[in-house]
Amino acid sequence: HLLRQDYRLNYHLMSELNWMNDPNGFVHYKGQYHMFYQHYPYKPVWGPMHWGHAVSTDLMKWEYLPVALAPDQQYDRDGCFSGSAIEKDGKLYLMYTGHIMTGPNKEKDYYQLQNLAVSDDGVRFTKVDVNPVIDVKQIPDGASEKDFRDPKVFEKDGSYYVVLGSNDGQGNGIILLYRSNDLFQWSFAGEIARSDGSLGDNWECPDLFELEGRDILIMSPQRMPAQGNDYHNLHSTTYMIGSLDTDKGKFSYNEYRPVDYGFDFYAPQTTVDDKGRRIVMAWMETWETAIPTQDGHHWAGAMTLPREVKLSGDRLVFEPLEEVKAYRSNPYEAHSIAMDGLQDLDISGDSYELQVVFEAQQAEEFGLKLRVHGEEETVLSYRPGDRLFRFNRDKAGAGLGGERRCDVELENGLLALRIFVDKSSVEIFIQNGEKVMTGRIYPGQQSIGIQAFSNGACQIQSLLKWDIK
Ligand code: FRU
């Protein structure tokens, strides 16, 4: 089949062909970044999971490698589900979930356990002899025996730990912690966190790491109830800043917040690189949204831009990696554009970075329209009255619609946006990464217009644009 190019992204990692979901095994190993991913190599739909594999030296330009894991053993016969990577004694270990069906019902008839594969070169992986390394009989009472998955392994104080997502069978997500000295033998160390009914009925893809002396827990709850403007997707992400007590097997925290406020951001995974940066990438889809490229395009699924995670007070901020700047071309710059109403800007494109600073002045509402042609438009707007930033894709193109909102405060009357548009994606970093909104859009190829609008007088203080290829 011909791989259709219409919506193929210019500067994001996406499936080479057929299906991609979660990022897996994200690691910096022997001078390269490795990203593995949930992959069905035969069709652009979810199927028995393999691990796809790509490498990069700058997290922007990727080279595909052969599939790293395929379901070919008793202990992973119906899928090599999500997991993570860790380096030990110069070797690269992948820890992943084996998915095993026990009957015909996909929702009910299965169980899950944890396995290990190892490589000397980061390319060819061998599953270890002693799999599974965490068996179902090591699941504590009160945790699901079906949903027991997505190991994220890390080292702390001379031991290895792994966090796993599960639920209590009563509608609450939980996270389990196990400890090991060698990655092969694991013992249960505690149920470190549990939903109180408001945080979703199953927790997937936990990630626990240290940042400036604090412990951060990121995870992906399913069916988390909406809270105000937050958590309007069936599959959300949330983070907690707290502290992990490995002796007591408890993680304590006060508050939780969304990682991303847009439509398409799920199962984020982080790693730390040789420069000490904590970097996150996520699947730029969720389970409940349509993926128009499944039909006739022969591919489905992409990753977000790599983002650096930083701590700012009691919040995380997310910034695009520096490396993106090397891919800029055709710089454009304008200053002090007075606005009242709708106006075409002097720029256009389907693959670019925009940096815009708005001065709100008297305006009731102001914003940008991207990927405009005829009736088609993707609308980003802000209203000082309700302090809500809006990302609306009702008229953005094929397949999708809806609006997501997030609370944003002006800073000295200013709103700063850094926006990355790729052929079928938009990522908006608001007020220097305080909030991020990610979404897929599928506009026509002629939809390249860029407009600004306001209701009442306001000003664009500065407008910078680069094409990104
Ligand atoms: C998250 C997830 C994981 C699972 C994988 C299966 O998107 O449901 O919990 O391991 O996808 O592909």
In a domain, 8, yes or no: no
Is there an atom of ligand 1 within 6 Å of 97 CB?
A: yes
Contact of 178 with 189, CB cutoff 8 Å = yes
291 lies in the same domain as 348: no
Q: Which domain holds residue 294?
A: 18-320
Mutation test residue for ligand 1: of 111, 176, 205, 303, the one with most atoms within 8 Å of CB: 205
CATH number of domain containing 144: 2.115.10.20
Is there an atom of ligand 1 within 6 Å of 49 CB?
A: yes
Q: In the predicted model, what is the mean pLDDT of the chain?
A: 97
Mutation test residue for ligand 1: of 18, 22, 49, 164, the one with most atoms within 8 Å of CB: 22
In a domain, 61, yes or no: yes
337 lies in the same domain as 304: no
Say what percent of the chain tops pLDDT 70.
Answer: 100
Please spell the DSSP secondary structure of 351-378, one letter per residue: SEEEEEEEE-TT-SEEEEEEEEETTEEE
Domain boundary among 267, 298, 320: 320
What is the Cα–Cα distance from 241 to 291, expressed in whole angstroms?
Answer: 33
Residue 309: pLDDT band by 50, 70, 90 thresholds? very high
Q: What is the pLDDT of residue 301?
A: 98
Is there an atom of ligand 1 within 6 Å of 201 CB?
A: no
Section 29-37 average pLDDT? 98
357 lies in the same domain as 307: no
User: Three-state SS for 327?
Assistant: helix
In a domain, 5, yes or no: no
Q: What is the pLDDT of residue 382?
A: 98
252 lies in the same domain as 396: no
The CA-atom distances, in angstroms, between 94 and each of 33, 83, 360 are 14, 7, 50
CA 99 to ligand 1: nearest atom = 10
In a domain, 7, yes or no: no
CA 38 to ligand 1: nearest atom = 12
26 lies in the same domain as 58: yes
Query: Which residue numbers are catalytic?
Result: 22
137 lies in the same domain as 43: yes
The Å distance, Cα 267 to ligand 1 centre, comes to 8
The Å distance, Cα 445 to ligand 1 centre, comes to 32
Residue 356: pLDDT band by 50, 70, 90 thresholds? very high
96 lies in the same domain as 201: yes
Is there an atom of ligand 1 within 6 Å of 149 CB?
A: yes
What is the Cα–Cα distance from 197 to 207, expressed in whole angstroms?
Answer: 21
257 lies in the same domain as 273: yes
The Å distance, Cα 204 to ligand 1 centre, comes to 7
Is there an atom of ligand 1 within 6 Å of 207 CB?
A: no
As for the ipTM of the complex, it is 0.99
Is there an atom of ligand 1 within 6 Å of 40 CB?
A: no
Section 16-26 average pLDDT? 97
Domain boundary among 275, 299, 320: 320
Tokens of 374: 């005829």
Residue 399: pLDDT band by 50, 70, 90 thresholds? confident
For 226, counting Cβ atoms within 10 Å of its Cβ (0-12 exposed, 13-18 middle, 19+ buried), the class is: exposed
In a domain, 11, yes or no: no
pLDDT in tens, 212-252: 999 999 999 999 999 999 999 999 999 999 999 999 999 99
The number of folded domains in the chain is 2
CA 147 to ligand 1: nearest atom = 9
pLDDT in tens, 38-57: 999 999 999 999 999 999 99
Q: What is the pLDDT of residue 98?
A: 98
Q: What is the pLDDT of residue 1?
A: 59
* pLDDT of 145 higher than 90: no
What is the Cα–Cα distance from 393 to 380, expressed in whole angstroms?
Answer: 9
pLDDT in tens, 154-182: 999 999 999 999 999 999 999 999 999 99
Q: What is the pLDDT of residue 197?
A: 86
Q: What is the pLDDT of residue 182?
A: 98
CA 287 to ligand 1: nearest atom = 7
* pLDDT of 192 higher than 70: yes
Is there an atom of ligand 1 within 6 Å of 269 CB?
A: no
* pLDDT of 150 higher than 90: yes
Domain boundary among 261, 295, 320: 320
249 lies in the same domain as 306: yes
Q: What is the pLDDT of residue 2?
A: 80
Residue 387: pLDDT band by 50, 70, 90 thresholds? very high
Q: What is the pLDDT of residue 275?
A: 97
Section 417-443 average pLDDT? 98
Residue 88: pLDDT band by 50, 70, 90 thresholds? very high
Assign 3-state DSSP to the chain and report helix, strand, coil percentages, each to 5.
5, 60, 40
Section 248-262 average pLDDT? 97
Section 193-200 average pLDDT? 92
